[in-house]
Structure 1
Amino acid sequence: MPVLPGAEPYRHEGGEVGVLLCHGFTGSPQSLRPWAQFLAERGLTVSLPLLPGHGTRWEDLRITGWQDWYAEVDRELRGLLERCERVFVFGLSMGGTLSLRLAAKHGDAVAGLVLVNPANKLHGLAPYALPVVRHLVRTTKGIASDIAKEGSVEIGYDRVPLHAAHSLRAFFRLVDGELPQVTQPLLLLHSPRDHVVPAADSARVLGRVSSTDVTEILLEQSYHVATLDHDADRIFEASHAFVSRLAPSVGKEGTATGG
């Protein structure tokens, strides 16, 4: 199945400091591409993979699970660690959850985390019915494009396959238990007016990680996909300052690949 135009992965070979960016559930690299390009222009080595089942059609997502999504970002991280002296992991929404698990599992190999509206659980009563309902109903309405900025659109599915949502719920519960293993410096940015992931998720993450170098920033002008919203430049600048503080040398320019 061909990848949707704009949803292609993005990579840039820069200097000795690398960044892995993880996109969200039902989304694609398009939601993080401007962020990735901003970092690439400043000499960092950047990897923004397309998660399995994403960026094509929702039917492809239906036959994947969290193990597939995590395996992809784990592979990309290992590749960056072979090429770079220091590697940071950034994530949006479920991409933030993936980032947290990478930090918990890889320890000091991950130099720091930047999370934007990280997801921690599926809220409400509906998730408890998923084990049964997913066999009766294939999909529910999509969650893409929760953006305040007029004219800004996220490339994502208009339906959420319930099999994949069931796997996502299990993944959230797994990672919640691993949060105390996260010790890396952390920059967490979240939107008070997020219609997909409530502020309680960011509070839960901040309350359970063991990191001591922690910065929290509120994104007052943006909804969930803040990386394509009014606060995008603020996210980009703050994340670059975070990396520059922890790894002052960003190396030399490289070459970009990807659509």
Structure 2
Amino acid sequence: MSNVLVLHGFTSHPILTMGPLPEVLRRAGYTVLQPTLPGHGTRPEDLVGVRWEDWYRVALEAYRSLPEPRALVTLSVGALIGAKLAAEEGTSAFVAMVPALGFVNPLAPLAPYLRWLIPTFKGTNSVRDPERKKNNPNYPYFPTGAFVEVLELCRQVPPLLPRITAPALVLQAQHDSTIPEAAVRRFHQLLGSSSKEYKVYDSEHDLLLDFRADEVAEDVNAWLKRVFPPKES
């Protein structure tokens, strides 16, 4: 059986934020595993004291629990964790949706210095669809100290990207108010994959919660079936 580890992003709900994609992949014949990164899926305060190493440990344990062949499908900060997995553990295919290699908010890099003055940051507007926005499952705010851990991941990942040689698909959201286009393109450019693709969608940051969610899910599934086809167990 072909196996896929799906990694959500920072403040994302581990299941709901991935929209229709996991079920689309299961129907296609993939075994899908969606671990919950520590501090997520409950309340923002549960992110206090969580380190990036905690997120990586859970992702690594989940990834190693899947028999090969294995692929990674990741979102935002999950793409940073996935990049570390792909570089250090290897993978058969790597999907990085809006990889968080930089941030639109000019205060983001100052988080290590602001954490005592501004203990929480407001979450960004990640969904354009007015109806879907009402049911956005992500945290509305987050501890500034937890975001410092995200910045540490941002620092570590660029040197790892050239080591990733598996087929890769990078997705950008045209109206992303969280991650700038330049950061997504840099992620794509640094990948060492000889086969890598880049697609842009008319969407906000949460591609799988917005207007184009079904299209994104079907496109990711079609790309995976081409480079990492489902196999019978």
Q: Same fold (TM over 0.5)?
A: yes
TM-score (norm 1): 0.83
Q: Could you list the per-position Cα deviations for residues 32-78 of structure 1 after superposition, in whole angstroms to 9, with x for gaps in the alignment?
A: 14211111122210001111001111111021021111111111110
- Aligned letter for 1:151? E
Which has the higher mean CA deviation after the structures are superposed, 122-131 or 210-219? Answer: 122-131
- Equivalent positions of 1:14-163 (< 5 A) are 16-29=1-14, 30-81=16-67, 85-107=68-90, 110-123=91-104, 125-143=106-124, 146-152=126-132, 153-163=135-145
Deviation at 1:248, TM superposition (A): 3.0
- Would you say how many aligned residue pairs link Structure 1 and Structure 2? 230
Matched, 1:180 2:162: yes
* Cross-structure match for 1:194: 176
Secondary structure of the residue aligned to 2:139 is coil
Q: Distance in 2 between matches of 1:195 and 1:55?
A: 22
- Structure 2: runs of 5+ lacking an equivalent: none
* Cross-structure match for 2:147: 165
- Aligned letter for 2:130? E
Q: Is the 8 A contact 1:44 1:251 kept in 2?
A: no
- Seen in structure 2, the aligned counterparts of structure 1 residues 249 and 39 have a Cα distance that, compared at 3 Å, is closer
RMSD of aligned alpha carbons: 1.6
- Seen in structure 2, the aligned counterparts of structure 1 residues 66 and 199 have a Cα distance that, compared at 3 Å, is same
Deviation at 1:250, TM superposition (A): 3.4
TM-score (norm 2): 0.92
* Percent of residue pairs bearing the same amino acid type: 31
Deviation at 1:18, TM superposition (A): 0.7
Deviation at 1:150, TM superposition (A): 2.7
